[in-house]
Copies of this chain bind each other. A is one copy, B any other.
Amino acid sequence: MVKNKQDKNQDTEELILKAANRVFEKKGYAGARMQEIADEAGINKALLHYYFRSKEKLFDRIFREAFSQFWPSIEKVTQGGMAGIRDLIKAVIDGYTEILAQRPYLPAFVVGELNRSPERIKELLLASGIKPDKIIKIVQDAIDNGEVVNMDPRELLVNIIALSIFPFIARPLVSSMFWKSKGEYDSFLQKRKETVYEFICRSILVNPDQ
């Protein structure tokens, strides 16, 4: 079973992207080295530049993908049109828990790079097709019909996201401050899927039960 040229090409590109992702995600744009990416992919630097002409172009490719991965479930729920507020919250928390278990560096990477070049955000948001207004409206509806206490809907959204991803962004710090081992922290993060949901619901639902 020999691979033809195109397949190998695809494989190499895939290999490079995976390697670049690992390196950029961990070290950021400035800390990443093209040589290290090449080594990680098992190729040499010239081939790296053959596939992606420059560090910036390669980074751009990686970062766009990372940025889009950053909004997993929010979109899923808004697609449906009218989702319950409980569903929205659960979807966001579960979505983050799932993706961040696989890519724990993702949020620190995205947020860190955006801090260093905030001018890119507008375009990235546009390109990603995210519609903040739609999500805000779901929350506002839940407030209007008395399901949720009166508050700025954006504040609730910020809180949900904060509670979901902060333990990952600040993972090493939080982990070694309050937990004894990596394993215990991981199990905390798993349980947290439920406890954060309850934490939020206790705070905002007018009729918690029902």
Chain A positions within 8 Å of B, measured between CB atoms, are 26-31, 105, 108, 110-112, 114-116, 118, 121-122, 125, 130, 132, 136, 149, 151-152, 154-155, 157-159, 161-163, 165-167, 169-174, 176-179, 188, 192, 195-196, 199-200, 202-204
Contact = CB atoms under 8 A, between A and B. Distances in A.
A50 B130 CA distance: 50
A139 to B, nearest CB: 11
A166 B172 contact: no
A166 B173 contact: no
Contact of A176 (B110, B121, B202): B121
Contacts of A202: 149, 202-204
Contact of A171 (B115, B159, B178, B192): B115
Contacts of A192: 155
Contacts of A29: 31
Main SS class of interface, A:
helix
Among A115, A155, A167, A203, which residue has the most Cβ atoms of chain B within 10 A? A115
A127 to B, nearest CB: 14
Nearest to A162: B166
Copies of this protein in the assembly total 2
A22 to B, nearest CB: 14
Given A111-B173, A155-B199, 6 more contacts: A30-B31, A115-B172, A118-B176, A149-B202, A158-B167, A200-B203
A152 B195 contact: yes
A75 to B, nearest CB: 13
Contacts of A26: 115-116
Nearest to A171: B115
B116 A169 contact: no
A181 to B, nearest CB: 13
A132 B173 CA distance: 12
Contact of A162 (B31, B125, B162): B162
Given A111-B173, A115-B171, A163-B159, A27 B30 contact: yes
